[in-house]
Chain A
Amino acid sequence: MVKFLKPNKAVILLQGRYAGRKAVIVRSFDEGTRDRPYGHCLVAGIKKYPSKVIRKDSAKKTAKKSRVKAFVKFVNFQHLMPTRYTLDVDLKDVVAVDSLQSKDKKVTAAKETKKRLEERFKTGKNRWFFTKLRIANHGTVVGNLLCEIQV
Chain B
Amino acid sequence: MVAGKKTKKTHESINNRLTLVMKSGKYTLGLKTVLQSLRNSKRKLIIISSNCPPLRKSKIEYYAMLAKVGVHHFVGNNNDLGTACGKYYRVSCLSIIGPGDSDIIKTLPGDH
**How distant is the Cα of A151 from the Cα of B95 in the complex, in angstroms?**
27
B55 in complex: contacting residue of A2, A4, A143, A150, CB < 8 Å? A143
| Contact B62–A149 (Cβ < 8 Å) | yes
**How distant is the Cα of A39 from the Cα of B35 in the complex, in angstroms?**
12
**Chain B residues within CB distance 8 Å of chain A:** 35-36, 39-44, 55, 58-59, 62-63, 65-69
Cβ–Cβ < 8 Å partners of A52 in chain B? none
Nearest-neighbour CB distance to chain A for B5, whole angstroms, equals 34
**How distant is the Cα of A84 from the Cα of B59 in the complex, in angstroms?**
13
Cβ–Cβ < 8 Å partners of A77 in chain B? 36, 39
B68 in complex: contacting residue of A1, A30, A78, A143, CB < 8 Å? A1
Interface residue A142 (Cβ < 8 Å from any Cβ of B): yes
- Nearest A-chain residue to B59, judged by Cβ: A142
| Contact A82–B63 (Cβ < 8 Å) | yes
| Contact A82–B59 (Cβ < 8 Å) | no
| Contact A5–B62 (Cβ < 8 Å) | no
